[in-house]
Structure 1
Amino acid sequence: MSKLHFTLTLLLLLFYTLSPAQVGIGTTSPEAMLDVNGTFKLRSTINESDINIIKENILVTSSSGMVNTIMSSDVIDAALPTMVKASFSSAGDISHILSLGACTLQFNQEEIDNNNEFDTSTNTYTAKQGGVYTIGAQVKLNTSLIAVNTDIGIGIYKNGTLIAEQRFISVIVSIPLGSDIEVSSPIRSVTATTDLATGDSIEFKITAIDILGIPLSSISILGGNVESFCSIYQIR
């Protein structure tokens, strides 16, 4: 090899070593330092035993084909179906102030929320992943504070639209020289199965209208978590 040939070869090696040029295999327009348009094969790999690396570095490909790293816990969380159960933070009477006879139920305590999708400050669930969900809620009314023969219901609202409801008149019979008797159930419960897209919201609302059709201004609910709660579960 001549001295000139050697010098040119050395300069080329230095250029490719120092240059940040992108290299394409199967493409003339690479979009990364190494851009492979097609499949590739690894004939052997090293089994990683460092638990810290296993926890923090997993290779994934994006929809555009880019190879990135993510936390291993994120892979597990993304595969977990939604499970939510929320209730009231107090076990006593929970007073709800109604606007035009309705308001969002103030479930402000999470018992289960594996994907962190229920906001206790707004009492709203927002789906992080699309799928089919079973949704339900139940409340137990404090009948001692309910007006006679009041129409009370509980509903599930998807993106602000009612999709399921149970409501009936809470009948109280007055006994002469005796105590009033509640003859209808103080429990209101509702369930629904629906599809949700990413970003869809779910709220639970209580409604109350008196015997004359006038909306109530407030209603009292018993806050025990076996009496009043909501749940959301992703089934597929």
Structure 2
Amino acid sequence: MKRSIFYLFLIFSISGFSQIGIGTTSPSASLDINGNVRIRSVNQDPDTDVARDSVLVISKDGTVNTMEAVKIISAALPTAVKGNFSSSGLVNLSLLSGSQTITFDSEAFDMNDEFDLTSHTFTANNDGIYSVYVQIEASSSLGIATNFGVQILKNGTVENRNSFANVGILGTNATPPVRSSQTLLQLTAGDTITFRVEGDIALGSVNLLGTDQDSYFTIHQIR
């Protein structure tokens, strides 16, 4: 009889407080454990669709939550982006100001969704060392220019560039119309990368070949 009364008292106590603390006298969740947790055996779930959305993670305040497995994997994967132009025709860029952001508006891949196709800007999600490469190719009508090249910018500041004169004869480039630039950059989360074309071309604009074999960029996190 006494044992039954004790069990009833325990049940009503748990129901009334709705929070149980182990190793703490002030629980802040239905079950609040202050200490290590040991589970001796766990059944395996054969349903991969269930497992995909049932990964347990611990937040900064110690609360256990679920998160989609694909999000965890994506966050752990290093950056890998390749971008180009959506048009395979000529892409005209004004150079009246001396330089112009290259309007890459298409992606071959972007593993962590870090390149904005509208602003043509890469924003790093994670701290690290990044390998950055950009290449552009002008049309055969580029003509004479004492300066024509491509820039890599970090947070709006030129970090690397490749620029030299271009000579055209009867509408044909006598010097190679391709400009490329490559560098390693140390980025912190939130830092941006953009690409610009520069030149003092008499026509005040440049036509770039739009095919992804001619004009494109790549960004790869190596550390």
TM-score, normalised to structure 1's length? 0.85
User: What are the equivalent positions in structure 2 for 1:28-43 lying under 5 Å apart?
Assistant: 28-43=25-40
Instruction: Report the Cα distance in structure 2 between the residues aligned to 1:182 and 1:50, rounded to whole angstroms.
Output: 61
1:163 is the counterpart of 2:159: yes
1:209 maps to 200
Q: Choose the corresponding residue for 2:183, options 192, 199, 211.
A: 192
CA shift for structure 1 position 194? 1.1
The 3 A distance-change label for structure 1 pair 180 and 11 is closer
Distance 2:157 2:125 in 1: 19
Match of 1:145 in 2: 142
Letter in 1 for 2:182: T
Which residue identity is paired with 2:209? L
Partner of 1:114: 111
Question: How many residue pairs were aligned?
Answer: 223
Larger Rg belongs to:
1
Return the offset for 1:12.
4.4
For 1:220, give the aligned amino acid.
N
Indicate the residue corresponding to 2:220 in structure 1: 233
Query: Which one of 150, 153, 167 corresponds to residue 154 of structure 1?
Result: 150
- The reply to whether residue 10 of structure 1 matches residue 8 of structure 2 is yes
Shift of 1:201: 1.2
1:218 is matched with which residue?
A: 205
Q: Which amino acid aligns with 1:171?
A: V
CA contact (8 A) 2:58 2:64 kept: yes
**Does residue 72 of structure 1 match 2:72?**
no
In structure 1, stretches of 5+ residues that fail to align are none
- Equivalent position of 1:97 in the other structure: 94
1:183 corresponds to: 174
Counterparts of 1:24 and 1:81 in 2: how far apart (Å)? 40
For the residues of structure 2 that align with 1:134 and 1:107, how far apart are their CA atoms?
18
Aligned residue type for 1:15: S
Q: Distance in 1 between matches of 2:27 and 2:66?
A: 20
Structure 2 residue ranges without an equivalent (≥5): none
Structure 1 residue 99: Cα displacement: 5.2
Q: Percent identity?
A: 37
Q: TM-score, normalised by structure 2?
A: 0.90
- The answer on 1:63 being equivalent to 2:60 is yes
Aligned partners of 2:194 and 2:6: how far apart in 1? 71
